[in-house]
Amino acid sequence: MSLAVVRSRAPAAGRAPEVTVEVHLANGLPSFSIVGLPDLEVRESRERVRAALQNCGFDFPVRRITVNLAPADLPKESGRFDLPIALGILAASGQIPADSLLYREFAGELSLTGALRPMRGAFAMACGTARGGRTCAADASLESRSALPPPADQQPAQAFHVPQLYLPAASAAEAALVPGVDVFGAADLPSLCAHLAGSADARLSPVAAPDLGAHAAAPAPDMADVIGQRAARRALEVAAAGGHHVLLIGPPGAGKSMLAARLPGLLPPMTDDEALASAALLSASRIGFKPSQWRQRPFRAPHHSSSAAALVGGRNPPEPGEITLAHLGVLFLDELPEFDRVVLETLREPLEAGRITISRAAWQADFPAACQLIAAMNPCPCGWRGDPGGRCRCTPEVAARYLRKLSGPLLDRIDIQLDIPALTATELAARAASAGESSAAIAERVSAARERQRTRQGKTNRELDGREVDDVCRPDAAGEALLREAGERFGWSARAYYRVLKVARTVADLAGAAMPSAGQVAEAIQYRRAFGSL
């Protein structure tokens, strides 16, 4: 046997596409070549694999070794291909049974001693394996040139409906959270090879999913901690119910960041599909995924010095940015005008479409970006514009230049723009009397409103397109007249007009109303006026 085929997967936008590792041994001058668009990390695997095989007591073939990573047009990165390359060499040289690699997928980085190191993207790999699991039918001739039938424990009694994935032991628990795939964890190369060879003493068992109760996440900040700010708390409830983007404008210390941190606690619990999608994205990213993050809405708060690539994605091949890492959660941009204007303009399309496409000369990646934006800003550089005590020292020109950092098209896409006043000393002293509802109480109303939207249209109100807005969000006669008058008075664009309609529909959903009334339309209009009053 001089050819072996091993299945693996590549980290790409959380999708983990399949990669076939083909290893061929030929006569000729000894060499070790890796082809198939590998990056530097993958090319360096030649030395890691060679040392690991020798230090584990295996024979390293003194032949011409060619490793092909297919498909050839998919960029390959990271050290996860060390393990499938090593297994391919052992199978091609007859040191392990070639048929033991059939219908299984492998990934892991090898140390020089043969130990398997933890790897990122284990959860994303398991998701890809579960989606791409095959039955045992007709793939044997494609997987290997061996004419041997599958071993007895791989006969069609199982029908291979549950695919198998082999990972480093330190990464297997994360992947075991994914249903529909058997995950095996191996500490080192010799123990895995003994399992593949059928040794009864070294047989590995599928890893059980970790007890998530032992990894309980820290409790989310509670809205009851917020002093005063009744209008802001109501606005966040509306935003959570409809998935609307929010801009909070107010002086320093008014509680903008405190309010933003409490938005995730108002959102409904993640569904199974949402939890899998979010965890796969985090797993494939460089920040990784932890069991304590399971079913937790992401909350990303990048610093205002972040670049466009950090915010929306970049590098080559493309990697997800903060707006993708916040998918199905919250993206918080504090001190919004301090971000570079070019960086902010990159948010326009993903905020509207919920997806972002990053294109490079040789590669294009489509990332999900259905996050909820909440931004905060001061009304002027010193932060005290409009303060009754006269503390603002900014000239009108300086204040106007500060506000011009935010373009009209970007503001047009933010549904709720709310003025947050500073708290007085009296309000601060009366802390107990000014405490509001808890996040749990508000979240119950939000969940009920989301359920009405899911039943009616299958999506949040923010995601409605133009025709759906006409069908779903049309108010009663008095509300329509009020909305038309406000649109003419404030000079709204068509996008702003429809976004106010969506917010009014959300206010009606919170009240359980069949259609928005004039009072609910008026509330939605108030959420659109703050920025224009500065």
Confidence of residue 148 (pLDDT cuts 50, 70, 90): very low
Closest CA to 321 of 274, 360, 374, 358: 358
Does the pLDDT at position 157 exceed 50? Answer: no
Q: What is the pLDDT of residues 220-253, one digit of tens each?
A: 788 888 888 889 999 999 999 999 999 999 998 8
Share of residues in the chain with pLDDT > 90 (%): 53
Bridge-based pairing of strands 164-168 and 116-117 is unpaired
- The residue with greater pLDDT, 422 or 145, is 422
Confidence of residue 91 (pLDDT cuts 50, 70, 90): very high
- The residue with greater pLDDT, 289 or 267, is 267
pLDDT of residue 432: 56
pLDDT of residue 179: 87
User: Whats the size of the chain, residue-wise?
Assistant: 534
Q: Round the average pLDDT of the chain to a whole number and report it.
A: 86
Closest CA to 57 of 110, 4, 1, 113: 113
3-state secondary structure labels for all residues of 34-59: EECCECHHHHCHHHHHHHHHHHCCCC
Confidence of residue 434 (pLDDT cuts 50, 70, 90): low
pLDDT of residue 35: 95
* CATH level 2 (architecture), domain 3-202: 2-Layer Sandwich (3.30)
* φ/ψ bin of 405: left (φ > 0), alpha (ψ from -120 to 50), beta (otherwise): alpha
Does the pLDDT at position 414 exceed 60? Answer: yes
pLDDT of residue 254: 86
The dihedrals phi and psi of 436, each to the nearest 5 degrees, come to: -105, -165
The residues with which 35 forms a beta bridge, in sequence order, are: 68
Confidence of residue 13 (pLDDT cuts 50, 70, 90): low
Confidence of residue 375 (pLDDT cuts 50, 70, 90): very high
Q: What is the pLDDT of residues 33-62, one digit of tens each?
A: 999 989 888 999 999 999 999 999 999 999
| C-alpha neighbours within 13 Å on the C-beta side of residue 273 | 1
Best-predicted range by mean pLDDT (138-152, 429-443, 501-515):
501-515
pLDDT of residue 393: 86
pLDDT of residue 534: 45
Q: What is the pLDDT of residues 299-357, one digit of tens each?
A: 999 999 999 989 998 777 778 889 999 999 999 999 999 999 999 999 998 998 889 88
pLDDT of residue 313: 86
Confidence of residue 390 (pLDDT cuts 50, 70, 90): confident
pLDDT of residue 147: 31
| C-alpha neighbours within 13 Å on the C-beta side of residue 89 | 27
- Sorted by where each begins, the domain ranges of the chain are 3-202, 223-463
Does the pLDDT at position 92 exceed 50? Answer: yes
Q: What is the mean pLDDT of residues 92-102?
A: 92
Does the pLDDT at position 425 exceed 80? Answer: no
**Total-model pTM:** 0.82
pLDDT of residue 144: 33
- The residue with greater pLDDT, 372 or 158, is 372
Fold of 223-463: Rossmann fold (3.40.50)
CB 435 within 8 A of CB 227: yes
pLDDT of residue 154: 46
pLDDT of residue 138: 30
Q: What is the mean pLDDT of residues 278-291?
A: 83
Which residues, at least 6 apart from 345, have a Cβ–Cβ distance to it below 8 Å? 407, 409, 410
Confidence of residue 218 (pLDDT cuts 50, 70, 90): low
